[in-house]
Structures are given as C-alpha cells and as structure tokens.
Amino acid sequence: MHELALTQDILDTAVKYACQTNSQKIVTIVLRLGALRDVQREWLQYYFNFIRKGTVAEDAEILVIVNPIVFSCRACGREFEVERDSLYDEDIACPDCSSKNYTLISGTEFRIEGIEVV
C-alpha cells in the first residue's frame, strides 16, 4: 500500500495549498518522480481518483514528470544517464574514462513540482 500512503500525502499537500490560497478547485498536480523510485504510476492515479472524491481536488489530474537516472563520474566529471534495467544487468562504468567511481545525482526525486488551482 506504498502508493496509497504517498497519494494521500500528495492530496493532503494539494488541499492544504488550495486552502491557503483560497482556491476553489485544484486543476493539476505536477509530480517530479525519479526513475529509481518504486512507484507505480497507474496505482498512483488509481488511488488518487478514489481518495480525491469530495475534496477540492475532485477533478484534478496528476501529471508525472520522470527524472532520469544520472550518475556523475568522480574521476572526470562526466555526467551519464543509465537505464533502470541496466542497473541490474551490467557493470556500470563511466563512458568516458571507464571509472567505476561515480555518484548518483538524479533518479530518486519525489516531490510536488507544482499545483495549479483556480
């Protein structure tokens, strides 16, 4: 029920925001989601459709922007993107200098990027 708890958080935040800004209605909630996050987007929308009933977010849509998985090489500074599937299959190394000394700089985000209200 991971997604349900997350979705509830999103809704609570959006409703609070609508309240603070004296808004009648929430139109869109934009989510920034890292590709490494184990969140099923279908479930997110499914739960959201269910729990939004009777709130100012009743007609709101969730828009998800997915951030890629990006590493930064500590040896040469190159930033490179890695597909999620490759994380399990391959030995990841910097494409420029083959170093395996790198750090994750994108892919774990989970935040509300914007809330559109009227």
Residues that bind Zn ion (CB under 5 A): 73, 75-76, 78, 94, 96-97, 99
Which residues pair with residue 72 across a beta bridge? Answer: 79, 103
When the beta carbons of 16 and 74 are compared against Zn ion, the nearer one is: 74
Residue closer to Zn ion (CB basis): 40 or 99: 99
Q: How far is CA 63 from the centre of its chain?
A: 10
Distances in whole angstroms, Cα of residue 75 to Cα of each of 25, 91, 93, 96: 50, 17, 11, 10
Q: Kindly tell me which of 19 and 75 has the beta carbon lying closer to Zn ion.
A: 75
Q: How near is the Cβ of 106 to Zn ion at its closest, in Å? A: 17
Give the three-state DSSP class for 117: strand
How far apart are alpha carbons 9 and 95 in whole angstroms? 39
Q: How far is the CB of 67 from Zn ion (least distance, A)?
A: 21
**Closest CB 97 distance from Zn ion, rounded Å:** 4
Residue among 50, 34, 22 at smallest CA distance from 107: 34
Pick between residue 64 and residue 76 the one whose CB is nearest to Zn ion: 76
From the CB of 101, what's the least distance to Zn ion, in Å? 8
How many other C-beta atoms are found inside a 10 Å radius of the C-beta of residue 71?
19
